[in-house]
Structure 1
Amino acid sequence: MKLIFGYLAGLLFGLGLAIGGMTDPHRVQGFLDVFGNWDPTLIFVMGGAVITTFIGYRLVFRRQGPLFAETFIVPARRDIDTRLLIGAAVFGIGWGLSGYCPGPAFASISGITWPLVALLLSMVVGWWLARRV
């Protein structure tokens, strides 16, 4: 059941990204173009995600435990280190240049393009390197 609900959650997430227009890299780049042809769509998608997460976490943590696991898995680290800062900078640069972050990139696989292939390969290499460092 855990696997089935994981796939359903991923499908819902991808569908939300597609409906919100986040699988279009030009929309994301338009959001980052604050001095040009600015597109505020991303703010509304992010706002909807933040509100949903805020409410969802409060509802979930009222439970004694998760439905399909022994315990909740909550990140314990709260420090800001060099790896985090470098990773965030690389992520931001890649996101700004390509117009994709990982979720929309994978949700866009059905409309594969060469820039998307380059981004996906770069993400895989980045994940591999991050595990080695």
Structure 2
Amino acid sequence: MPAVTVPGRSRGRPYPVELLYDRDCGFCVWCARWLARLDRHGRVTATPLQTRGAPERFGVSVDEALEQAWALDADGRRHAGAGAIDAALSALLGTRIPLRVYRIPGIRQLQDALYRLVARNRHRLPGRGGSCAVG
């Protein structure tokens, strides 16, 4: 399976983001490919956590990386779970609005709960297979 990467973190591009995902999870791979198809400006780089040194670059353990998605933005800020998805959407759209909405009281809790629900059921979602099939 080819790596799912799009040029990221290059100078002159607004708000690039690197997203850490599990290439052994069919749903994660499906989502990374979906992001790559939508990313016409090359603002998101999807990096498999199985890439040598990737978890360390994100400042997380392999276990933490397996628990939820992680994102690093151009300012070096780390985002986890729903926040990582919002960071990727912000980069994709070229605006920080998704991250600003995430910070609204109540919205963060709602998005985090939805993220956990999706994560628990990822083996039933598009891209089934891989290690998530045992979910």
Q: 1 or 2, which has the higher strand percentage?
A: 2
Higher RCO (CA-CA < 8 Å; seq separation 6+): 1
With the length of structure 1 as denominator, give the TM-score of the two structures: 0.25
Q: Which has the larger radius of gyration?
A: 1
Q: 1 or 2, which has the higher helix percentage?
A: 1
